[in-house]
Structure 1
Amino acid sequence: MIKARVSRIDLQFITPGQTSRGTLNSKPSWFFILEHNGYSGVGECSVIAGLNPEYPDGYEQKIFEIAEKINSGVVPSLDDLDEFPSIRFGLETALLDLQHESAGILFPSAFTRGEKGIPINGLIWMGNKQEMQSRIREKLDQGFRVLKLKVGALDFDEEISLLRNIRNQFKPADLEIRLDANGAFSVNDAPEKLKQLSDFHIHSIEQPIKAGQWEAMAEICHTSPLPVALDEELIGIINTIIKEKMLDTIKPQYIILKPSLIGGLQKSREWIDIAAAKNIGWWATSALESNVGLNAIAQWVFTLNPEMVQGLGTGQVFSNNIDSPLELSGPLLYHRVNVSWDYSRIL
C-alpha cells in the first residue's frame, strides 16, 4: 500500500520579484511524499496568491485530506481534483515519480540522461531602468538570445525607452524579445501601446489585458501588430468544450502552459492538442515552483520535442530551493546525472 505524507516550504526570493500585480518576497509550496516498496515519489503543489483559483480557502486542508485518503488505501482519481489544479499537478507528478522507481525521474529521455538540454529564455524581472538594464546585460553575457521582460509596472515611457535601448544594441536576428504584461493594459489603452511596442520587433506579448474579456481580447488579437499569447486566460477553464470555445473566440497566436495553474501535465497536453488543431502555437512556463515542480515540467516538455524556446529558467530565484540535478548552462537547462536530489529541506 502507498503511504503518503505532506511537507511545506516557504520559498524565499533572492531578489523580490516585481510584477504588475505587486511584489513577491516569498511563496509557499506543499509536497506529496509517497512511499511504496522502498521507493518514493515527490510532487509539488505550488501556488501564487491571486492567481491560483483554489488558494487559499481550505487549500492545505484539502492536501492533508488527500494524504489521509491515500493512507487509508484509496488513491484519489486525478479527475476528482479538477477544481484544484496545483494539487492535481502535485499528486500527478508524485505518482509518476513513484512509478518510475528512480528518484526524480518521471519521463526517462535524453534529457534525464544528461545528453541534451532544453533551450530556455532569460527572465527579466521588473525593476527600475538601471536594474533592468543590468539584468539584461547579465543574461546576454550568459549567452541568452531569447529574453522575456515583464512590462506594465513601470511608467510606459520608461519601458519604451528600455526597449529602444536594447534594440539599439541588438538586432532582432541576434535577440528575440518576448513581453509579459500580466493583464496590465486597459482595453482602451492596449491598441496604442501594442502599436508602440511593435516598433521594437517583439516576438509576442502575453496577456495584454486582464483575463475573462473574450471579445475584447479577440479584437486585440485580430488587430494587434504583435502576436498575442494567452496565459492567465487559460486558468480556471476545465471543460473541454469551453476550452475550444475560448480559443475559437479569441484566436490567439500562442498559448502559455503553466501546469500548476491549469491542472497538471495531462491537462496541459489537452490544451496543446486543442491548440494544434487550430494552428495555435505554445510553449511551457514554470510558475515559480521549486526545483521539484520545475523538474517535472522540464522532463515532460522535453518528450514533446518542442519547436520553441521554453520558459523554464526560474530555478535560480529562490535562496532556499531544493538542491537538484537541474543546472543552467547558458541558455540551456540540463539534468546532470552525477548530481543527486537533496530533499532534506522538505523531509
Structure 2
Amino acid sequence: MGTPEFMKSQIREKLAQGFHCIKMKIGAIAFEQEYEILKNLRKEFSTQDIEIRVDANGAFVPEEALEKLKRLSELELHSIEQPIKANQIEQMAALCQNTPIPIALDEELIGVIHFPDRKKLLEEIKPQYIIIKPSLLGGYKNSEEWISLAEKQKIGWWITSALESNIGLNAIAQMDFLHLIIQCLKD
C-alpha cells in the first residue's frame, strides 16, 4: 500500500484502462493504518466504481481475525484472501462459517496433492472461494481438479498467477478464457 493519494491515482488510472476489480495486499503495516487507507478509498470509489479484494497472506492471528473481518466488512469488500496462515484448519473453518466477508483460500491449497485430501479440505473449511494458481498447484490437471471439487461444493473460484513470465501469463489467460466460454455455454 502507499499513501491514499497515490492509491487513488493508481485506481483512477486502472479505471480509465477499463479495470473494475483491484486486489490490495494487507497485513504489512498496522491494521488501523490499512483500514483507514481502505476506508478513504471506498469513500471515493463506490462498489459500482470498483470491486476491491484484499489479500492478507495469513497476516491475521486467529484470535483477532474475526474482529478484523467485521471491521473490513464495513468497507463493502468483495473478499479477503487467506486471512490467517495455512494449516489452521479448524480456525479457518470457524472463520469461513462466521465471516461477514467472503473468504478465499490461497496458500491453504498449495501442497495438497491427493484428491481425497483436497476434497476433505474443502469439505472441512467450506470457504466461499478458492484461488487457482496453476503454477503453484501442479499445473492444469491439478487446477482443473480443484475447480471441479469447488463447483461440486458450490464454492466460487478464480484463476490468477503467481510470478509467471509472459508465456505463463498467456497460458493462464487462455485457461481462464476457456472456462469463461464453458460458463457462457452452460448459461
What RMSD, in angstroms, separates the aligned Cα atoms of the two structures?
1.7
- For 2:170 and 2:48, the matched residues in 1 are separated by 30
Please state how far the C-alpha of 1:307 moved relative to its aligned partner.
9.3
- For 2:53 and 2:8, the matched residues in 1 are separated by 16
Structure 1 residue 220 corresponds to structure 2 residue 92: no
**Structure 2 partner of 1:207:** 82
Change (3 A) 1:162 1:141: farther
Q: Which runs of 5+ in 2 are unaligned?
A: none
- For 1:306 and 1:194, the matched residues in 2 are separated by 34
1:272 to 132, 140, 147: 147
CA contact (8 A) 1:231 1:255 kept: yes
- For 1:283 and 1:155, the matched residues in 2 are separated by 28
Relative contact order: is structure 1 or structure 2 higher (C-alpha 8 Å, sep ≥ 6)? 1
Change (3 A) 1:144 1:262: same
**Structure 1 partner of 2:73:** 198
Please state how far the C-alpha of 1:129 moved relative to its aligned partner.
4.2
- For 1:227 and 1:307, the matched residues in 2 are separated by 25
The SS at the match of 1:304 is helix
The SS at the match of 1:193 is helix
TM-score when scaled to structure 2? 0.92
Aligned pairs (5 A) from 1:1-347: 126-305=1-180
Higher fraction of strand:
1
Change (3 A) 1:281 1:307: farther
Aligned residue identity for 1:215? E
Deviations 1:288-319 (A, max 9, x none): 211011111111111111799xxxxxxxxxxx
In the comparison of the two structures, how many residue pairs are matched? 183
TM-score when scaled to structure 1? 0.51
- For 1:185 and 1:173, the matched residues in 2 are separated by 28
The SS at the match of 2:74 is helix
